[in-house]
A and B are shown apart, each in its own frame.
Chain A
Amino acid sequence: MSTMTLEETKALIQEVLEAYPDKARKDRAKHLAANDQSVEQSKKCIISNRKSQPGVMTIRGCAYAGSKGVVWGPIKDMVHISHGPVGCGAYSRAGRRNYYTGHTGVNTFGTMNFTSDFQEKDIVFGGDKKLEKLIDEIEQLFPLVKGVSVQSECPIGLIGDDIEAVAKKKTKEHGKPVVPVRCEGFRGVSQSLGHHIANDAIRDHVLGNRDDDEGFETSPYDVAIIGDYNIGGDAWSSRILLEEMGLRVVAQWSGDGTLPEMELTPKVKLNLIHCYRSMNYISRYMEERYGIPWMEYNFFGPTKIAESLRKIAAFFDETIQANAERVIAKYRTEYEAVIAKYRPRLEGKKVMLYVGGLRPRHVIGAYEDLGMEVVGTGYEFAHNDDYDRTIQEMGNATLLYDDVTGYEFEAFVKRVKPDLIGSGIKEKYIFQKMGVPFRQMHSWDYSGPYHGYDGFAIFARDMDMTVNNPCWNSMQAPWLKPTAVETEAIAASA
């Protein structure tokens, strides 16, 4: 933090912790840290992936959110049954804004909600029969569906329904994969375990499906995009860059993804992974089982895009490497114009982030391209390996906060006074009412895409639109504003 030294940051953390009772303070202290780039292993300075304190306002989600919302939900040609009471599916329906092509209700089902709508009698007598009936109905109503996944909600685990047996039976009956996913919400400490469970379900029920089928014609330039994020069309603005380089994108998960694409992923030459947190498990598995190398890339902001494109090209021959340079050169005028336009308006502004998955570290480069400085960052559900990767990206003495509570976040903002906060919908209105410009960095605030060169232009425009919005000068009611006479008096007395 340019304005704060390491000692000041540490003192701020201590000050914020003062409000807690002893036991909670001891626990929360482990989750807050001042960044120190000399630390190589994050576990020495910050603890992550632990159970949240009871009674604090955590911003985390559940395992069901991780599986249904992130990994399985966006697979568009499958039906994902929210198995259990109606709420989990209904309240999360179509909220993710992962755009897809296709006819909803005919061959794609992305924004639809399928639920077994558990009632009291299903809890008492078990819901397996209902699930069977539901799968049969789906097959009858939507004959073009490629498969079904059963996303368990909490009661399924509590009453011990055997969804695996139902899935096995129905797979045989309909000849389409029916995937049971044991992602009951109470599992794990956050949505992170849901990602892992969902990855394991993909491994067990999808990846091996075409192992003995050599019918797919491969090329030496086959790649797969895994964990593309795909809010407001991110997947496509990433994909075109790879295709312009001469690579063939065989599969794209899970945004705008399909079951056949997932089944073909083991045939590619390289897995490109954007959302490390939610998809690293499956990439590691494919590396071991099929010998496919994987790499993380970052398509936020021109500096990181160029870096990533070169890194990706290094896996291939000289043609691709030359193409990568050509792609970077092609977009140069475009992104330089964006920087020339917005940088003067955003230069020196301070940003605080609190998001999940990959963005707390990935978007730092994009902000820096616009001359902005990230002064604090944190993850909802990261593990140690995420913080290992974050420490190097962040400046010295900046704030790191893991699973931040509502109180802590507010206290930090009051003291650090950032010019912009990037977080989710739950935080948005608190900070806007405090008069701090805010962007939702989960859903791009209903804008997007932000990935790739095309996305960067939109990203820069959105940040400018928010930070320099005239409304921030009107936070005080006109009759409460000091009059010209009073202002002069204050100026005179000072």
Chain B
Amino acid sequence: MPNVMIRKNETGALLFYVAKKDMEETIASVEQDSAERWGGEVALTDGSRWYIDPISPPPNFPTTLRFRRVDD
């Protein structure tokens, strides 16, 4: 369960940054992304998938959250 810092890049897309893993990826899709809730399954552009319990109300970015790897 790594600590992940989520921040917006210049174009407004969300970046998924794991300092320990030295990994910076763009988030392709978020399962729940509305005015009330943010979270669920998160897919990255490199194909990996991560999970976080939906947060309500949506967090302000940038922020550090704990994600879990989705095993398939």
- Using CB atoms and an 8 Å cutoff, list the residues of chain A in contact with chain B: 41, 49, 196, 281, 284, 287-288, 383-385, 388
Contacts and interface: CB of A to CB of B under 8 A. Distances in A.
A384 B24 contact: yes
Contacts of B67: none
Contacts of A41: 46
Given A41-B46, A281-B19, A288 B64 contact: yes
Given A383-B22, A385-B22, A388-B24, A284 B17 contact: yes
B52 interface: no
For the residues of B in contact with A, the DSSP-based class is strand
A49 B5 contact: no
B35 to A, nearest CB: 21
Interface in B12-58: 17, 19, 22-24, 46
Nearest to B46: A41
Given A41-B46, A284-B7, A288-B5, A384 B23 contact: yes
A385 B22 CA distance: 8
Contact of A384 (B5, B7, B19, B22): B22
Contacts of A287: 7, 62
Contacts of A196: 19
A288 B22 contact: no
19 contacts: A196-B19, A281-B19, A284-B5, A284-B7, A284-B17, A284-B19, A284-B62, A287-B7, A287-B62, A288-B5, A288-B7, A288-B62, A288-B63, A288-B64, A384-B22, A384-B24, A385-B22, A385-B24, A388-B24
A393 B30 CA distance: 31
Contacts of B62: 284, 287-288
A49 B64 contact: no
Contacts of B7: 284, 287-288
A488 B69 CA distance: 73
A385 B63 CA distance: 20
Q: Which of B7, B22, B46, B63 has the most CB of A within 10 A?
A: B22
Q: State the 5 A-B residue pairs at the shortest beta-carbon distance, nearest first.
A: A383-B22, A288-B62, A385-B24, A287-B62, A49-B22
Contacts of B5: 284, 288
A385 B15 CA distance: 12
Nearest to B23: A384
A384 B17 CA distance: 12
Contacts of A383: 22
Contacts of B17: 284
B8 to A, nearest CB: 9
Contacts of B64: 288
A281 B64 CA distance: 13
A385 B5 CA distance: 15
Nearest to A385: B24
Nearest to A314: B10
